[in-house]
């Protein structure tokens, strides 16, 4: 059961969080396009369109394009790419305000690890729990929807031939800056046991860009002030601000998928524009600023600002092994707990961060909530849109990134909306 649940996490948690320069501001009269997941025994994924998402309900009943299995949704250019766990992929664009499939393709490189984009080009890297085979970096054209070249690349290879003695990288962001690609990554041991290693160090591999077949990093940089960079299944472990600075964050909690809790605080480090090393004079201790909170997801929303979900401390204890004979343990010590709502804990706080000033502002009007799949962030007229689950109900919220205020919108008929797009 543990293995099965983690396979679901590896597919579902990634689905739509955006990184890189994906936070393009959008303002047009097209409807919102949303990646909606229904609930119940026959739950499915849909792309649906709707003009008004602040009143009434959002539903896939009698509308939308259904996709089988777990899907990865990501925008680039004027296209939404939908890539499934079963190798099938599609590209959609709006034509006369209606979704139209403009291309279909096969993705045959296994588990999707992370996504990013540069300009109108979508970048996608696979990942592996245990194999030391080279990784694959694929590109897709956001104007035509067509798949582009795929090349092999290697972050590192420390296998000894004995499973468990080495580790494999799991990328958590793909950021292009100039002629370099920055790839933040986690480490898992090289057996299919889902064991995270090297819990007290953040790592970023730097490649020449465009990446050529068989590429190795030009350098790997590390920082021991925070835990490993990002969280499994996210695409914004590292983000780029408008002036070219890069910021990376760490969590390090067992409940967020780390096997051993990091001794480093949840915080943010910086790679200054034009630099290829961590800025030793910059450190943003978010855990200290939030009285013990741990970043669970973060993305850039313009200027030096970012929006983030922070897992707040709790006194709750939970069953960690499905054995009534053993005592419950604190929630933050239950493996992968932050990815599950089974125990009904709502302890994620939404905040706006000023990365340069190192300040944290709670988003007013948004309650503590749960979110495993973080939505793709697109700034639309200074607003971002999210699905917020609390007390058993899921609703749309409109967030003003300048005032840090949220407004409750339409009720969501279904499990969640993974992402909101304006094409």
Per-domain residue ranges for the chain? 2-421
Work out the burial of residue 180: count CB atoms within 10 Å of its CB; fewer than 13 is exposed, 13-18 middle, 19 or more buried: middle
Question: Among candidates 337, 342, 373, which has minimal Cα distance to 37?
Answer: 373
CB-based contact 313:332 (threshold 8 Å) = yes
CB-based contact 3:69 (threshold 8 Å) = no
* Contacts (Cβ under 8 Å, ≥6 apart) of 321: none
Question: Among candidates 23, 16, 198, which has minimal Cα distance to 114?
Answer: 16
pTM: 0.93
> What helix, strand, coil percent values describe the chain, rounded to 5?
5, 45, 50
Select from 2.130.10.10, 3.40.630.30, 2.170.190.11, 2.70.50.60 the CATH code of 2-421. 2.130.10.10
Q: How far apart are CA 363 and CA 352, in angstroms?
A: 7
Q: Verify cis geometry, omega within 30 degrees of 0, for the bond prior to 227.
A: no
Q: Where are the beta strands (DSSP E) in 260-328?
A: 268-271, 294-302, 305-311, 317-318
Q: Give the dihedral sign, CA 202/174/341/396.
A: positive
pLDDT in the model for residue 72: 86
CA separation (Å) from 79 to 56, 88, 277?
27, 16, 34
The secondary structure of residue 247, as a DSSP letter, is E
pLDDT in the model for residue 375: 61
The secondary structure of residue 288, as a DSSP letter, is H
Q: Side by side, which strands form the sheet with 79-84?
A: 71-76, 79-84, 88-95, 98-106
Q: How far apart are CA 31 and CA 304, in angstroms?
A: 29
CB-based contact 77:120 (threshold 8 Å) = yes
Q: Side by side, which strands form the sheet with 135-141?
A: 112-118, 121-126, 135-141, 147-153
pLDDT in the model for residue 6: 42
As averages over each run of 10 residues, the pLDDT of the chain (423 residues) reads: 39 42 61 90 88 95 81 92 84 95 92 93 93 96 96 96 93 97 96 92 98 98 98 92 97 96 98 97 98 96 96 93 87 93 91 98 97 80 94 94 97 92 92
The secondary structure of residue 314, as a DSSP letter, is -
CB-based contact 385:375 (threshold 8 Å) = yes
Question: Among candidates 417, 299, 419, 422, which has minimal Cα distance to 57?
Answer: 417
By residue count, the chain amounts to 423
pLDDT in the model for residue 10: 41
Could you report the per-residue pLDDT of 176-228, keeping only the tens digit for each? 999 999 999 999 999 988 899 999 999 999 999 999 999 999 999 999 999 99
């Amino acid at each position: 059961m543990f293995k099965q649940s983690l396979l679901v996490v590896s597919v579902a948690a990634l689905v739509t969080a955006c990184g890189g320069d994906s936070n393009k501001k959008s303002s047009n009269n097209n409807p919102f396009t949303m990646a909606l997941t229904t609930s119940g025994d026959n739950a499915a994924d849909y792309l649906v369109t709707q003009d008004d998402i602040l009143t009434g309900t959002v539903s896939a009943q009698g509308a939308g394009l259904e996709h089988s299995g777990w899907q990865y949704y990501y925008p680039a250019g004027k296209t939404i790419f939908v890539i499934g766990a079963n190798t099938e992929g599609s590209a959609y664009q709006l034509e006369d305000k209606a979704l139209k499939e403009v291309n279909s393709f096969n993705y045959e490189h296994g588990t999707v690890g992370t996504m990013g984009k540069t300009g109108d080009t979508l970048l996608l890297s696979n990942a592996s729990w245990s194999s030391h085979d080279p990784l694959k970096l694929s590109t897709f054209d956001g104007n035509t929807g067509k798949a582009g070249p795929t090349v092999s690349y290697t972050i590192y290879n420390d296998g000894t031939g004995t499973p468990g003695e080495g580790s494999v990288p799991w990328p958590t962001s793909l950021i292009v800056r100039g002629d370099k690609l920055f790839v933040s990554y986690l480490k898992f041991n090289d057996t299919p046991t889902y064991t995270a290693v090297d819990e007290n160090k953040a790592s970023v591999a730097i490649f020449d860009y465009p990446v050529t077949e068989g590429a190795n990093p030009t350098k790997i940089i590390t920082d021991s002030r925070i835990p490993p960079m990002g969280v499994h299944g996210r695409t914004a472990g590292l983000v780029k601000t408008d002036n070219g600075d890069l910021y990376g964050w760490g969590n390090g909690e067992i409940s967020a998928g780390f096997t051993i809790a990091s001794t480093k605080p949840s915080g943010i480090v910086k790679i200054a524009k034009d630099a290829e090393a961590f800025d030793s004079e910059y450190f943003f201790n978010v855990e200290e600023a939030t009285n013990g909170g741990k970043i669970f997801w973060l993305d850039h929303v313009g200027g030096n600002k970012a929006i983030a979900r922070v897992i707040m401390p709790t006194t709750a204890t939970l069953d960690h092994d499905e054995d009534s004979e053993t005592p419950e343990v604190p929630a933050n010590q239950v493996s992968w707990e932050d990815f599950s709502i089974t125990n009904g804990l709502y302890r994620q706080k939404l905040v706006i961060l000023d990365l340069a000033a190192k300040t944290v502002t709670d988003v007013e009007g948004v309650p503590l909530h749960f979110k495993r799949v973080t939505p793709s962030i697109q700034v639309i007229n200074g607003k971002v849109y999210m699905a917020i689950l609390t007390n058993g109900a899921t609703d749309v919220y409109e967030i003003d990134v300048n005032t840090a205020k949220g407004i409750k919108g339409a009720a969501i008929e279904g499990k969640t909306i993974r992402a909101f797009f304006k094409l």
